Amino acid sequence: MKRMRKGKMEEKMSGLKRMGTAVIALCVGAAGTVRSQDTLRLDLARSVETALKQNPGIRIAEKELSKARAGVAESVAALLPKVSGSVNFQHSWEIQQSLIPNFIKAAMRLPDGSYVMPGVEGMPDYLKLSFGVDNTFLYGAALTQPVFLGGAGLGSVRIANGAKRAAEGGLESAKQAVVYNTVNAFYACLLAREVAAVQEQALAQTQANLDLVRKKYDAGNASGFDRMRAEVDVANLKPQVISAENAYLSALTGLRMVMGLPESTPLALEGRLAYADDSLDSLSLSDLRMIARRNRPEYKSLSGNKTIAGGAARAARSSFLPKVFFQTDYSFMAMRTDYKFTQDDFSKGFTSALSLQIPLFNSGANWYLSLIHI
């Protein structure tokens, strides 16, 4: 009986093992299918296209360009009129009193010191009066327009435009750098793949030669030295194959980094190494320099930086010049001792002012910057 139970237990354990093996095989097969579906197949054109979309450096440059464009709109808005509305309610818990001379008593005093009416001499010489009521309600709108800023406004616009041109050049430079690095990385992967294939083919041929020499040695047609030399050849090629495969994996990692892809993304490259003629091969060095000066985005960025410096100098000089502002205010005010305000309680006020600000002393700030001529 014990042997029969033991046999049944072994059969159950064997069945469980077979079931576990089948489940593992299914999981491995499913994982392999998912990985094969996620493999990204790339040629040179698609690699460049993906890099231009995914590279984080380009996304940062695009954000900087958007920021610079917003800066241009902001600098222009500073020159435009500004309209603001306001609503103000004020409650006075205690109204201040002002001490003023008693003009009535002084007017009723005669030259001999007497008064025109009896009892006036008992009036105080100074009176305490309260101005205002408990509750004040005010609402209205105000308009402010800078008339003359000494060149500060135009300098700010110039700085913003220069920053935008510099950001445009930075974005174009980042794109060209990504294209250049992607092409180099793609061809580096192709070269590493070809080198690894050549090394593997050489190892396969050397291994086949070793197998042949061993058969000849067993048959007595080759010496022990021949067998040892064939074994050494195989041993020498194996590290080279491993090194070539690691170089290929490293090249793929570099391509993923340039393209902004996750490190775990499987890649399958399509293409081969082939020489192609280029129209630039027929140009002289001076022609190439002229093309570079005309097309390189760094020159655009330098021009933008020069404009920024000129605008900064102009803004610095404006700090020594007067500034004129125009302001107008249209408001309604009501005053009551209670909270029962009605439209009839409000009185209209409409004022305009033209103000002039003259800098007299600013401790020499911006002096040296204002002397720059760009």
Top-confidence residue, 44 or 295: 44
pLDDT digit string, tens, across residues 27-62: 334 334 334 447 888 888 899 998 898 888 889 999
Q: Is pLDDT above 90 for 86? A: yes
> Per-residue pLDDT averaged across 131-154, rounded?
88
- Between 319 and 189, the more confident residue is 189
Residue 315 maps to which CATH number?
Answer: 1.20.1600.10
pTM, to two decimals:
0.62
How far apart (Å, rounded) are the C-alpha atoms in residues 105 and 45?
Answer: 101
Q: What is the mean pLDDT of residues 137-157?
A: 89
pLDDT of residue 332: 94
Is residue 247 in a domain?
A: yes
Any domain includes 109:
no
User: Residue 115: exposed, middle, or buried by beta-carbon count in 10 A (0-12, 13-18, 19+)?
Assistant: middle
% of the chain with per-residue pLDDT over 90: 30
- With respect to residue 113, please indicate whether it lies within any of the assigned structural domains: no
For residue 241, being part of any structural domain is answered with yes
Q: Does 327 fall in a domain? A: yes
pLDDT band for position 208 (50/70/90)? very high
pLDDT > 80? residue 244 = yes
Percent of the chain with pLDDT over 70: 87
Q: Which of 21-35, 90-104, 360-374 has the highest mean pLDDT?
A: 90-104
**Band of the pLDDT at 252, cuts 50, 70, 90?**
very high
Which pLDDT belongs to residue 265? Answer: 87
pLDDT at 281 over 80: no
Q: What is the pLDDT of residue 30?
A: 38
Residue type, 25: A
Mean pLDDT of the 222-246 span: 91
The lowest-confidence range among 138-152, 185-199, 266-280 is: 266-280
Instruction: Specify if 31 maps to a domain.
Output: no
CA dihedral 72, 78, 80, 84 (to 10 degrees): 130
Average pLDDT over residues 293-300: 79
Domain assignment of residue 24, yes or no: no
Q: What is the mean pLDDT of residues 80-103?
A: 87
The number of distinct structural domains making up the chain is 1
The mean per-residue pLDDT over the stretch 60-73 comes to: 91
pLDDT of the residue at 43: 87
Task: Label residue 369 by pLDDT band (50, 70, 90).
Answer: low
Averaged pLDDT of the chain: 81
With 0-12 CB in 10 A as exposed, 13-18 as middle and 19+ as buried, what is 248? buried
Q: Of 59 and 14, which is predicted with more confidence?
A: 59
Give the CA distances from residue 301 to residues 147, 292, 329, in Å, rounded to whole numbers and listed in that order.
33, 14, 45
Does residue 100 sit within a domain? no
pLDDT of residue 35: 43
Domain span at residue 280 reads 39-95+132-370
